[in-house]
């Protein structure tokens, strides 16, 4: 006997987390598995909207710089930012400071993952030393210190574009009391590890060739709860898309089958 479960957060009754990463489905009557048989589960597929934050208030949401001897701090609202989004915010805020909107421009090279900060003034200084500097997610650690000034318009290279994706993978976990799931050489209750294979605000597709095997330890299934965590098993906030797709954040298909899949 094969059971196929479709779990998603499009149903408001299924969403049990304010940050959108937990969904529960109920079975009435419950699924009754044969107590004399072994059953296992696997995630056949998943679609997850890439809408979780990489900028966090008080952690990495400020850019510190000085221009013509005056110090400024650009504050970013928490959320998900691409490099273009970061540059747009910088341009708007430098203009509001009566500066050139092109004063600071950050560019990335996808082929090399390098990040370039282009300076448009010989009096511009950027301070990377602050603990909440946004430049940390672009590969400029606090140890970088102060950059500039430069006599001529120039650029400074050090960063790592890959660090812009603070979430590198997602873990799909269920409460099916699974054992023997295999992750990083160890057993765990992670049913699937999903690599980020999409750009921000697009859908991450997961269709594995070799599914993680999970043995189910209970025979009566009244509910199934699925949780989306990041690679460090932290809750993932699915509400960073500014409400563009409030009911289409993620779904997954779980198959329950006799024996070890």
What b/e sequence results for 210-232 when a residue is b if at least 16 CB atoms lie within 10 Å of its CB, and e otherwise?
ebbbbbbeeeebeebbbbbbbbe
164 pLDDT higher than 70: yes
Query: What mean pLDDT, rounded, does the chain reach?
Result: 83
- Which residues on adjacent β-strands are paired with residue 159? 115
Q: Distance between CA atoms of 111 and 6, rounded to whole angstroms?
A: 38
> Which range scores top for mean pLDDT: 13-22, 68-77, 90-99, 205-214?
68-77
- Which residues on adjacent β-strands are paired with residue 195? 169
Query: Do residues 221 and 33 make contact, with C-beta atoms less than 8 angstroms apart?
Result: yes
121 pLDDT higher than 90: no
208 pLDDT higher than 60: yes
Architecture field, domain 3-52+167-258:
Sandwich (2.60)
Question: Helix or strand or coil: residue 162?
Answer: helix
Tokens standing for residue 254: 């779980």
**For 202-214, what is the mean pLDDT?**
84
**Sequence spans of domains, the chain:** 3-52+167-258, 62-164
How much is the pLDDT for 247?
Answer: 52
> Which range scores top for mean pLDDT: 96-110, 122-136, 245-259?
122-136
């Amino acid at each position: 006997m094969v059971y196929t479960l479709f779990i998603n957060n499009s149903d408001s009754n299924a969403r049990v987390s304010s940050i959108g990463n937990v969904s529960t489905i109920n079975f009435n009557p419950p699924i009754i598995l044969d107590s004399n048989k072994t059953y296992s589960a696997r995630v056949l597929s998943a679609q997850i909207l890439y809408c979780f934050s990489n900028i966090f208030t008080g952690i990495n949401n400020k850019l510190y710089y000085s221009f013509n001897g005056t110090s400024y701090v650009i504050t970013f609202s928490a959320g998900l930012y691409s490099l273009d989004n970061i540059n747009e915010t910088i341009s708007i805020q430098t203009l509001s400071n009566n500066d050139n909107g092109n004063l600071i421009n950050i560019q990335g090279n996808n082929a090399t993952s390098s990040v370039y900060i282009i300076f448009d003034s010989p009096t511009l200084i950027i301070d990377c030393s602050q603990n909440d500097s946004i430049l940390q997610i672009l590969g400029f650690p606090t140890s970088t210190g102060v950059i500039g000034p430069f006599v001529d318009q120039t650029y400074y290279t050090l960063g790592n574009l890959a660090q812009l994706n603070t979430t590198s993978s997602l873990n799909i976990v269920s409460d099916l009391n699974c054992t023997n799931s295999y992750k990083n050489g160890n057993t765990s209750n992670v049913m699937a590890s999903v690599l980020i294979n999409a750009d921000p605000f697009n859908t991450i597709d997961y269709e594995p060739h070799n599914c993680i095997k999970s043995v189910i330890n209970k025979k009566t299934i009244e509910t199934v709860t699925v949780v989306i965590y990041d690679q460090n098993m932290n809750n993932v906030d699915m509400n960073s898309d500014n409400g563009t797709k409030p009911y289409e954040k993620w779904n997954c298909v779980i198959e329950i089958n006799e024996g070890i899949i």
